[in-house]
Structure 1
Amino acid sequence: MEQSPDWTARVSRTIAHEVRRHRTGRGMSAQQLADACEALGAPMPRTVISNLENGRRGSITVAEVMVLAAALDVPPATLVFPVGHVDEVEYLPGQSVPPLAAVEWWHGLLAPASSPLALLRRHRDLEVRIRNLYRGIWEQAIAEYQWHGEPDGPEAEAARDVARDLTTQLHELRDEIARRGLRLPALAGLDKVTPLPPGGDRALAR
C-alpha cells in the first residue's frame, strides 16, 4: 500500500513550521541557520531553508531533519511532533495521539522489554546505578576522613549489598545480550570513574 501523499505533505509542513518557529524564537536569520548547518558538516543553503519554510519545497529528508534539529539545538522529534503547541499529531496516516506520546514512540520508550533497545537501555541504567553507589561509598569515606582501607559502616555495607545485587543483574543481562547476538557494551574505564572496593571492578569486567 502506498503511503498517503496528503499525510507526507502534512508532516513536511509541520516540520517546516517548527523550523521557522524555533529559528525565529532564537532570533536567527535563515542565513544564520544555513551557516549553523554548514558548521555541522551538512550544508543547507539559505534558499533551501527559505523554500522549505515558505512551502515551495514540499519534502524533507530524515538527514535534513537531524541537521536542522542540531543547528537549532532541539530534539529532532520536536520538529516532527510540536510538543506544547498542539493537542494531537497525526503520527501515522489517520492515527492521531497527543504529541508527547508520539515523541515517546519516536524515541523507542514504548519498545517491548525484550527488544534490543530496551535491553541496552537497561544495561546503561544498571551500570550508572552501580557507578553511583560506589561513588557514594567513597565520597562518604572521604567526608568522614576514612582514608585507610575500605570504607565501612552500615551505610557503606548496605550500598555494597545493593551494588552486588545490581552487578549480578548486570551479569545476567550481559549474558542475555550475548545470547541474542547483540554487541556487548564496553565496561572499560568503570574503575576510573570512581575508586572501587577490592573486587568491585573484577565483577564488572566480565
Structure 2
Amino acid sequence: MTQDDAPNWDAQLAATVAAEVRRRRKELGMSAQDLADACEQIGYPVPRNVIANMESGRRTTLPLPDVMVLAEALDTNPICLLYPVGYAETAPMLPDRDPVNTWTVLSWFTGEQNTGNGDALSLYRLHQAVVESAQRATGRAQDHRRQAADARDPGERAEALRSAEQYEQRAHDDHAYLGRIRAALREDALLLPQLPLGLDSIDDSPPTVNSPEDKDK
C-alpha cells in the first residue's frame, strides 16, 4: 500500500471510534436506532443515518461532541472509544506516524506521561487519591467503632477499638497530607478541587508546603 492509498490520520481515528461504537453497541444489544434515541435523550442528537454511515466507513470525520455523547449513550468513557484498550492492539497517535500500542497512546492522551503540564496533572491526581484514602480510612474507623460498641467480648471490643484508632490515625495523616497538597496548588496559582463533606474543614487553616510529593506524613 502506498502512502497515497493509506487512510489519513483523522480517518484512522474515526475508524477506530466507529469500530468501538459498533462493538459496544452490539455488546449492549442496541440497534443503531436505539443508540440514536439514547443520544436524543441526552440532548445532543446523533441521527441513526449518521451512526450507520460512521460504522460503515462512509463518514470519515467525527466531531468530539459526537464522541462524548456516543460514549455517554453507550455507558462508557470517551477515551475508551478513542483508544479501546483491550480491544485494539494499536491506535493512531499523530499524523505521519505509525500506530503505536493503544495503552501508550491512551497514557499520552490522559497525561499519564509526565510532559508539558504534567506537574499540575500529577498534583490533581495525587489530591484525588488522598481524598479517597481519607474517606476509606474514616469509613473503616467508623465500622470498627460500631463493632466495638456491639461487641460483648472484651477482647473483641479491645481489638475493634485498636483497629478504629489505627484507621483514625491514617485519616488524620491523610488530612494533613491533603492540606499540604492544597497549599502547593495555591502556591502554583492553580484552582483548588472541591472537597467532599467531611474534608471541607481542611482549608480552615491551610498549611505551607515545599514538597507535597513527600509521602512521609
TM-score norm. by structure 1 comes to 0.79
Q: CA RMSD in A?
A: 2.8
3-state SS of 2:193 partner: coil
- One-letter amino acid of the structure 2 residue matched with residue 22 of structure 1: R
Q: What is residue 194 of structure 1 aligned with on the other side?
A: none
- One-letter amino acid of the structure 2 residue matched with residue 50 of structure 1: A
1:141 paired with 2:149, answer: no
Superposed, 1:33-52 pairs within 5 Å as 33-52=35-54
Aligned with residue 73 of structure 2, among 68, 71, 74: 71
Change in 2 beyond 3 A, CA 1:51/1:204 = same
Change in 2 beyond 3 A, CA 1:17/1:138 = closer
Change in 2 beyond 3 A, CA 1:71/1:136 = same
Superposed, 1:119-134 pairs within 5 Å as 119-134=123-138
1:16 paired with 2:18, answer: yes
State the Cα deviation string for residues 149-193 of structure 1 (Å, max 9, x = none): xxx9433333333333222211111111111111212335216xx
Aligned length in residues: 191
Contact 1:37/1:68 (8 A) holds in 2: yes
TM-score norm. by structure 2 comes to 0.76
Q: What is residue 172 of structure 2 aligned with on the other side?
A: 164
Q: What is residue 174 of structure 1 aligned with on the other side?
A: 182
**Gapped runs of 5+ residues in structure 1?**
192-200
Q: What is residue 154 of structure 2 aligned with on the other side?
A: none
Q: What is residue 101 of structure 1 aligned with on the other side?
A: 104
1:187 paired with 2:195, answer: yes
3-state SS of 1:190 partner: coil
- One-letter amino acid of the structure 1 residue matched with residue 111 of structure 2: G
State the Cα deviation string for residues 9-46 of structure 1 (Å, max 9, x = none): 11112212222222223222211111010011111111
1:114 and 1:69 map into 2 onto residues whose CA distance is 26
1:118 and 1:8 map into 2 onto residues whose CA distance is 29
Q: What is residue 61 of structure 2 aligned with on the other side?
A: 59
Of 68-77 and 99-108, deviating more is: 99-108
- One-letter amino acid of the structure 2 residue matched with residue 23 of structure 1: R
**Gapped runs of 5+ residues in structure 2?**
1-5, 152-159, 206-217
Q: What is residue 26 of structure 1 aligned with on the other side?
A: 28
Of 119-128 and 87-96, deviating more is: 87-96
